[in-house]
Structure 1
Amino acid sequence: MNKPNNKILVINTGGTITMAAKASGELQAGKGEVLIELIKNLTTDLCSTIEVKPLTGADGAVIGTSDSSEIGPKHWDAMASMIISHNDDYDGFVVLHGTDTMSYTASALSFCLAQNTKPVVVTGAQVPLSKPGSDGLQNLRLALYVADQSGKSLPALSEVMICFAGQLLRGNRSRKSSTRSAVGFSTPNAQILGELFPVPTIFKEQLRALPNAYPPLNNSSLGYSDKVLSMNLNPGFTGELLLKIIKGSDIEGLVLRVFGSGTAPDDFNLAQVVEQAKNETNDRFKCAVIVTDVYNGSLDIHRYAAGKNLRSPFIIDGRDMTPEAASTKLMWVLGSDDRKQQLVKLLGSAVCHEMSAK
């Protein structure tokens, strides 16, 4: 057996993978007792020492495990803070997470960890480890394999990734695609990074080169605004109603899923709404980001005349970003005064391969 020479930190945020059934039969977040025992056994398969820690805040207080519906900005800050503060102590990181908001978390982490040079692998399960037929064991085993950089069997990975059902996906390109299938995630607008089963294969041409134009890996990259509204444009929804919603709240930014390749009805003039909202809120409201409401595809707001009301300096073309990436990116940009000063630049260009070039 190889002597462990690298260290992996597993951050347990909860989710289905660690859940146990209540007396009523409902699943609830557990502390991961089964997980700890499994990881002890998995250590012998790897060249790394594995440590499991609960999610903790910057003050050291344990946040504990949660259903993924509870995960939000404070949890993303806590996860990123743990990875940043322990970056010199570990060679790779695995985040255990529920599937419902996993793509949001993987996207959020990718922005604040854009300068990270170590693998961050997010994984979970559709069926708890405590139940027969769980997909959690394979997902966990493969996530640890990816995070283990000591064996040199894989190329160096500096991504925030999702490992699920034998596939390795770029986190900020991922979407949950099924509530039932073991293949629960996909990247509709990007190639996957690798196939891990039955023979591990990484598609090197898909891996990112580490950027150098953004803040270094430290706590200055943390912070997310919770004042972002993400919604669909529905037939019959008016600009007047949207303006009332913005003015009657403390919303700073909007992510709007528009029709197809970028169209909206004549009576929904988003450009006018956004500019009026900025003026009438004394610039508290900053901008809107638009993405397509179609699962696979990209915006082209100049293709149809019906896209004319979506064109404004204060409306950012999200191109082929997922709604999850667009929402968390806007939350991240609005999460610090320094980033707000670069709002148009950061939102209009890729920070870490979350959207394709124009």
Structure 2
Amino acid sequence: MNKKPNILLIYTGGTIGMIKDADTGSLKSFDFENILTKIPELRLLDCDIETTSFEKPIDSSNMNPEYWIDIAKIIESNYDNSDGFVVLHGSDTMSYSASALSFMLENLNKPVIFTGSQLPIGDLRTDAKENLITSIQMASLQKNNVPIIKEVGLYFEYKLYRGNRTTKINAEHFEAFESLNYPHLAESGVHLNVNKEALLKNDGSKELIVRVNMDTNIGILKLFPGISEPIVKAVLNTEGLKGLVIETYGSGNATTASWFIDLLKTALDGGLQIVNVTQCAGGSVAMGQYETSSKLKSIGVISGKDITTEAAIAKLMYLLGVQLPSEEFKSVFELPLRGEMS
């Protein structure tokens, strides 16, 4: 017998949870306890909805690994009695959070769908209702009482993406996100069309493991023409730095100036993990394809392949947190763990 899926709605903060006071015009937090009263359309969904909220909703600009742990622990404690999860989150850092949760939730066998909106839920032209309703529908999709989606997704403006493949590309349009290196997992039109080939395959036999040690001793260095030695040196000599994402040009290319290569080599020899990702919105790092990247390859820089900067940051924090032996780090990083790279 088919039972109704039980979906847990987790509100962390963000525009989607705001409602405009009709008298003053100011925005205030929405009480998710009364969500069915405010959005009666949710009653039409073929699932049971429960809600929980952060004690104090946060703007996503203040999102950090402590809050990721809070989300992960809410999912862990409700995992057995929920069939799916929808995380309501501000859009600015949503790609970072979705990437982080994908690594933190090992052997995930149920959908965790991040969503938000560009306009508050009470606005006349809001995108919040569609995003919320369809995210819950996506999280409810089942076949023979088994969830169809078994990964961390991000739903925005008619498309479901793999969370750790997304980047926010627009602060103004409703179509705020894109996944340039991986196809959409599903699309919402007249029908919900799921791209089954693109979904992560999980046999479901392993228990969920929640990894909460995220090491934040990492940085990003974006290359630009004219970048100076003192700047690079200052970044590499940052006290406590364990991992660095370098955003290079094109397919992983960088200056071949000897001071630059020497600084990187010294840092690598000292145990710093350096990951090469492209500044381009789409495409992949292919170190060694051009002379300008072959030196990076020869000194042992990690290839980020087609990973996004957001996912590279989350993966670095995660792998440093599980304290992999230094000699294994490069080969493990270059393997896809949660479908985050090809």
Tell whether the structures are fold-level matches, with TM greater than 0.5: yes
Partner of residue 58, structure 1: none
Distance 1:160 1:270, change over 3 A: farther
| Distance in 1, Cα, partners of 2:145 & 2:85 | 17
Distance 1:199 1:290, change over 3 A: same
| Distance in 2, Cα, partners of 1:152 & 1:132 | 38
Partner of residue 159, structure 2: 167
**Residue type at the aligned position of 1:345:** S
Is 1:51 the counterpart of 2:42 in the alignment? no
Contact 2:12/2:87, CA 8 A, preserved across alignment: yes
User: Alpha-carbon deviation of 1:113?
Assistant: 1.5
**Residue type at the aligned position of 2:160:** L
**Residue type at the aligned position of 2:69:** D
TM-score between the two structures when normalised by the length of structure 2: 0.90
Of the structure 1 ranges 301-310 and 118-127, higher mean CA displacement relative to structure 2 is found in: 301-310
| Distance in 1, Cα, partners of 2:259 & 2:287 | 14
Secondary structure of the 2:266 match is: helix
Distance 1:194 1:69, change over 3 A: same
Partner of residue 131, structure 2: 139
| Distance in 1, Cα, partners of 2:197 & 2:183 | 10
| Distance in 1, Cα, partners of 2:106 & 2:261 | 31
| Distance in 2, Cα, partners of 1:211 & 1:244 | 46
Distance 1:310 1:13, change over 3 A: same
Secondary structure of the 2:106 match is: coil
User: Alpha-carbon deviation of 1:177?
Assistant: 1.5
Q: How much is the aligned-residue C-alpha RMSD, in angstroms?
A: 2.9
Distance 1:165 1:339, change over 3 A: farther
Map Cα deviations across residues 238-272 of structure 1 (whole Å, 9 max, x no partner).
Answer: 34532222323322110111011121122266553
Contact 1:18/1:35, CA 8 A, preserved across alignment: no
Map Cα deviations across residues 98-154 of structure 1 (whole Å, 9 max, x no partner).
Answer: 110111111111111231100000000000102210000000000000111458699
Is 1:18 the counterpart of 2:17 in the alignment? yes
Of the structure 1 ranges 45-54 and 319-328, higher mean CA displacement relative to structure 2 is found in: 45-54
Partner of residue 346, structure 1: 332
**Residue type at the aligned position of 1:323:** T
Contact 2:106/2:209, CA 8 A, preserved across alignment: no
Partner of residue 257, structure 2: 267
Is 1:5 the counterpart of 2:7 in the alignment? no
Partner of residue 78, structure 1: 70
| Distance in 1, Cα, partners of 2:116 & 2:314 | 20
Partner of residue 227, structure 1: 217
Partner of residue 197, structure 1: 189
| Distance in 2, Cα, partners of 1:261 & 1:350 | 19
Question: 1:87-106 alignment to 2 at 5 Å?
Answer: 87-106=79-98
**Residue type at the aligned position of 1:190:** Y
Secondary structure of the 1:82 match is: helix
Distance 1:131 1:256, change over 3 A: same
User: Alpha-carbon deviation of 1:157?
Assistant: 0.9
Partner of residue 317, structure 1: 303
Which residue, out of 181, 196, 209, partners 1:218? Answer: 209
Distance 1:346 1:118, change over 3 A: same
Q: Which runs of 5+ in 1 are unaligned?
A: 56-61
Distance 1:297 1:166, change over 3 A: same
User: Alpha-carbon deviation of 1:32?
Assistant: 3.8
Q: Which runs of 5+ in 2 are unaligned?
A: none
User: Alpha-carbon deviation of 1:210?
Assistant: 1.8
Of the structure 1 ranges 89-98 and 34-43, higher mean CA displacement relative to structure 2 is found in: 34-43
Partner of residue 296, structure 1: 282
Contact 1:271/1:311, CA 8 A, preserved across alignment: no
| Distance in 2, Cα, partners of 1:113 & 1:340 | 23
Contact 1:115/1:211, CA 8 A, preserved across alignment: no
**Residue type at the aligned position of 1:245:** V
Partner of residue 177, structure 2: 185
Identical-residue share of aligned pairs (%): 31
**Residue type at the aligned position of 1:330:** L
Map Cα deviations across residues 150-197 of structure 1 (whole Å, 9 max, x no partner).
Answer: 586997110100111111101011111111111111101111111112
Contact 2:304/2:312, CA 8 A, preserved across alignment: yes
Partner of residue 322, structure 2: 336
**Residue type at the aligned position of 1:210:** N
Which residue, out of 257, 265, 273, partners 1:287? Answer: 273
Partner of residue 305, structure 1: 291
Contact 1:4/1:46, CA 8 A, preserved across alignment: no
**Residue type at the aligned position of 1:93:** F
Contact 1:99/1:124, CA 8 A, preserved across alignment: yes
**Residue type at the aligned position of 2:255:** P
Distance 1:111 1:296, change over 3 A: same
Of the structure 1 ranges 84-93 and 223-232, higher mean CA displacement relative to structure 2 is found in: 223-232
| Distance in 1, Cα, partners of 2:78 & 2:250 | 43
User: Alpha-carbon deviation of 1:341?
Assistant: 7.4
Secondary structure of the 2:231 match is: helix
